[in-house]
């Protein structure tokens, strides 16, 4: 597959270039949870297209899915944003469990991990701990709020709950990583595209 280079995008018109269409349809039909997620996602897209921001879509999606308990995993550098997010979600009648990346206070020295500052103690980010807490709390949905590249992968690997991402961490581009794909500076000078 190389959809990024495809000029036709005939799938947008209902064409199948994969020969797995019937197999995938069967998967949706036999997994009621996946079918319900897809149905609600399509409802949100259809009803609110270009009308709601992602946060509003997240709230509406969670209500449509009848989610009651939401989990927020966040970077300590986005603690202020996580607190505001938690406040908004609580105002919308959700129970919230929020977990900071430094949960458990495990030292980087315990694993001989690279530090930001070479001197002194430094606590590691702990996405496995974040996932474990949300798994134990049995949240209906986990919301990622700006955890580092790699840490997000570990979180996704270990979290046994449905996951969505609200914030993608990018310290340089103001947590807007797609800006690198729009920036002539990055495209020409950094990526030579």
Q: What is the DSSP track for 58-108?
A: HHHHHHHTT--EEEEEE-GGGHHHHHHHHHHHHHTT-EEEEEETTTT--BG
State the Cα angle at 84 between 139 and 95, rounded to 5°: 25
Locate the domains of the chain by residue range: 15-51, 67-190
Burial classification of residue 168, based on how many CB atoms lie within 10 Å of its CB (0-12 exposed, 13-18 middle, 19 or more buried): middle
- Which CATH architecture does the domain made up of 67-190 adopt? 3-Layer(aba) Sandwich (3.40)
The stretch 44-68 carries a mean pLDDT of 98
The 10s digit of each residue's pLDDT in 14-32 is 999 999 999 999 999 999 9
Q: Secondary structure of the chain: what % helix, strand, coil (to 5)?
A: 50, 10, 40
- Amino acid 45: pLDDT: 97
User: For the chain, what is the total number of helices (H) and then of strands (E)?
Assistant: 8, 4
Nearest to 24 by CA among 35, 33, 13: 35
Phi, psi of 5 (to 5 degrees): -90, -5
* Span 148-165, pLDDT tens digits: 999 999 999 999 999 999
Q: Could you give the percent of the chain with pLDDT greater than 70?
A: 100
pTM of the model: 0.94
Question: Is the CB of residue 57 less than 8 Å from the CB of residue 36?
Answer: no
CA 169 to chain centre: 10
Q: What is the pLDDT of residues 104-119, one digit of tens each?
A: 999 999 999 999 988 8
Nearest-5° angle of CA 166, CA 51, CA 91?
55
């Amino acid at each position: 597959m190389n959809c990024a280079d495809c000029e036709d995008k005939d799938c947008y018109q209902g064409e199948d270039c994969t020969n797995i269409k019937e197999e995938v349809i069967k998967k949706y039909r036999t997994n009621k949870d996946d079918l319900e997620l897809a149905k609600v996602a399509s409802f949100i897209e259809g009803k609110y297209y270009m009308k709601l921001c992602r946060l509003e879509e997240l709230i509406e999606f969670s209500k449509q899915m009848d989610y009651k308990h939401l989990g927020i995993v966040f970077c300590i550098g986005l603690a202020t944003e996580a607190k505001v997010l938690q406040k908004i979600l609580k105002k919308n009648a959700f129970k919230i469990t929020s977990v900071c990346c430094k949960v458990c206070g495990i030292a980087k020295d315990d694993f001989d991990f690279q530090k930001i500052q070479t001197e002194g103690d430094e606590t590691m980010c702990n996405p496995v701990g974040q996932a474990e807490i949300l798994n134990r709390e049995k949240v209906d949905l986990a919301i990622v709020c700006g955890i580092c590249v790699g840490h997000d992968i570990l979180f996704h690997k270990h979290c046994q709950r449905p996951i969505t991402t609200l914030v993608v961490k990018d310290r340089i581009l103001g947590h807007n990583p797609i800006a690198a794909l729009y920036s002539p500076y990055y495209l020409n000078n950094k990526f030579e595209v």
